[in-house]
Amino acid sequence: MGASYSSCSVSSLSLTPNSSHFTTHIFFPQQKSLNSVSYNFLDHRHFNTNTNISTSAKSSIIMTKEILDPHCIEDELLQKIAYEGLVYSALHGLVIGDRFSQKSGSVPAVGLVHAPFALLPKSFPESQWTQACEVAPIFNELVDRVSLDGKFLQESLSRTKKVDVFTSRLLDIHSKLLELNKVEEIRLGLHRSDYMLDEQTKLLLQIELNTISSSFAGLSCIVSELHRSLLRQFKQYLALDPERIPTNNAVDGFADALAKAWSEYNNPSFLNFLDTHEVSTIRKTLAEVDSQGELLPDGTLVVSGDPVAVVYFRAGYTPNDYPSESEWKARQLMELSSAVKCPSISYHLAGTKKIQQELAKPNVLERFLENKDDIAKLRRCFAGLWSLDDLEIIKDATERPDLYVMKPQREGGGNNIYGDDVRETLLRLQKDGSEEDAAYILMQRIFPTVSPSILMREGILHKDNAVSELGVFSTYLRNKSKVIINSQSGYLMRTKVASSDEGGVAAGFAVLDSIYLV
């Protein structure tokens, strides 16, 4: 998920006769520096970018089966590549808010720095890339079918509801919709399924499936093009084929899905404007939706006098996004409306950790999918997942905590429990004898390949050993029985130093990357 401060933002697509602009407002929390051998590129401003690379630099590149060891690049060449990477970032919008600027995030185009990125793409097996792309539409269909099974969602999260206030509030809204027998005829999903490649088994294992605010569709595309540009520019030294970096159409795919959802809405309030007005967008916080929004008798959501066709949640996935009752009232108002929600409350719940764990149980996928081949493809991606009422697993996790990750029902990075903290938390829960264990799941810890990388953050070049996580974007749009879109729609590669447990880019743990197929 993307990260935001408590002044959470909600974007909406609306067709209005008087409004024609959209203000983008993205918040960036403080980022931690990478602890590594580093080279401050900004301290060498007199480096001549036109200097020819020396013969020794040319001969220093080590390659095996098209896999580059970037740590073997001579410093002279590395400096030049880094400089060109920073220039490309500035020219092509690979930028984020600067945490040191007071105006960052509040004044457009003020307080921006380059997004953290890997200087060169990460090698990735083509067969596993193909696998991740093939299962994306299947996961889309699974989320949609799970979302329609209100009983399954409520029962699966019933114990969690008792001990997790945030999940409980989401379930309360969902329960109200069930009581009203409200059906979302148009269902829009902009998803991202995250994977790691397990070093020992060589299996591509799913970490989580994001159904709300699946971030970095825009910047990930730019990083792919950045790497292609650098491989072309320095091909005589790197000898890597730019075409081995897959095309990344994430931002186009997401934009197309949002636009088609607007088109499918087909509310009579909008029909008079279809031929004469373009889609306009507005941005509102949840609190503003509460104070400025209303529901018309026909179910139309109106905010500040503008009818809304599509609501996209850039926030709303953490308790911090609901600092008062006003935000919860806004969420319920939108859910009760006929506007297309991305995601709807049921899609949101379908992406929780507990539902992920429930779906991994034997025979549960068969409840939602008929095709045996599709079921087998999904199961092949599942890592070990368990609830904390499995005493055998709890015993093993207490004895071997390094083999497990303990996850609460939270998104946005920085929430998981690792190592000795797993043992201590499990022992505390057992001693307390409360039902707090229902707020967590246990997951098999995945140990991906560690490889040398060059990481750029705040203009500083870091050489370190790193691991990577692949996120595959997908889009899904359905109107009643008709599926309009169901496709893989680009990808996000995140690379972090191997010593870091967490992996969020906005949270300060990782950098943006792309993949090089081998």
In Å, how far are 19, 36, 83, 96 from 41, measured between CA atoms?
Answer: 44, 15, 8, 19
Closest C-alpha among 206, 92, 228, 155 to residue 438: 155
**Active-site residue among 105, 412, 490, 503?**
412
Check if 126 is active-site: no
Tokens of 195: 């994977």
Establish whether 196 is an annotated binding residue: no
Cα(342)–Cα(504) distance, rounded to whole angstroms?
22
**Active-site residue among 80, 187, 331, 407?**
407
Q: How many CA atoms lie within 13 A of 124 on its CB side?
A: 29
**Active-site residue among 11, 36, 140, 210?**
210
Cα(505)–Cα(62) distance, rounded to whole angstroms?
29
Check if 244 is active-site: no
**Active-site residue among 184, 208, 288, 358?**
208
Establish whether 93 is an annotated binding residue: no
Cα(294)–Cα(508) distance, rounded to whole angstroms?
38
**Active-site residue among 192, 260, 314, 463?**
192
**Active-site residue among 293, 411, 471, 490?**
411
Establish whether 444 is an annotated binding residue: yes
Ranges of H-type helices in 148-216: 150-156, 158-163, 165-179
Cα(394)–Cα(374) distance, rounded to whole angstroms?
31
Establish whether 192 is an annotated binding residue: yes
SS3 23: coil
Establish whether 411 is an annotated binding residue: yes
Check if 407 is active-site: yes
Q: What single-letter amino acid sits at 442?
A: L
Establish whether 412 is an annotated binding residue: yes
Closest C-alpha among 284, 301, 289, 295 to residue 330: 289
Establish whether 322 is an annotated binding residue: no
Check if 36 is active-site: no
In Å, how far are 68, 123, 124, 270, 436 from 63, measured between CA atoms?
Answer: 5, 12, 15, 58, 51
Establish whether 408 is an annotated binding residue: yes
Check if 162 is active-site: no
Establish whether 446 is an annotated binding residue: yes
Establish whether 31 is an annotated binding residue: no
Establish whether 122 is an annotated binding residue: no
**Active-site residue among 228, 260, 341, 353?**
353
Helix, strand, coil shares of the chain, percent, nearest 5, are 40, 25, 35
Establish whether 253 is an annotated binding residue: no
Establish whether 353 is an annotated binding residue: yes
CB proximity list for 348: less than 8 A, separation 6 or greater: 170, 211, 212, 316, 317
Q: Is the dihedral of CA 333, 336, 341, 346 positive or negative?
A: positive
Please check whether residue 324 is in contact with residue 287, taking contact to mean a CB–CB distance below 8 angstroms.
yes
Establish whether 443 is an annotated binding residue: yes
Establish whether 212 is an annotated binding residue: no
Check if 400 is active-site: no
Establish whether 469 is an annotated binding residue: yes
Check if 215 is active-site: yes
Establish whether 494 is an annotated binding residue: yes
Check if 494 is active-site: yes
Establish whether 88 is an annotated binding residue: no
**Active-site residue among 80, 284, 341, 494?**
494
Establish whether 407 is an annotated binding residue: yes
Check if 2 is active-site: no
**Active-site residue among 123, 147, 193, 215?**
215
Establish whether 199 is an annotated binding residue: no
Cα(59)–Cα(241) distance, rounded to whole angstroms?
18
Output the known binding site.
Answer: 192, 208, 210, 353, 407-416, 418, 443-446, 469, 494, 496, 502
Indicate which residues carry an active-site annotation. 192, 208, 210, 215, 353, 407, 411-412, 494
Binding residues for ATP: 208, 353, 407-416, 418, 443-446, 469, 496, 502
**Positions at the binding site for Mg(2+):** 208, 210, 411
Q: Which residues are annotated as a binding site for substrate?
A: 192, 494
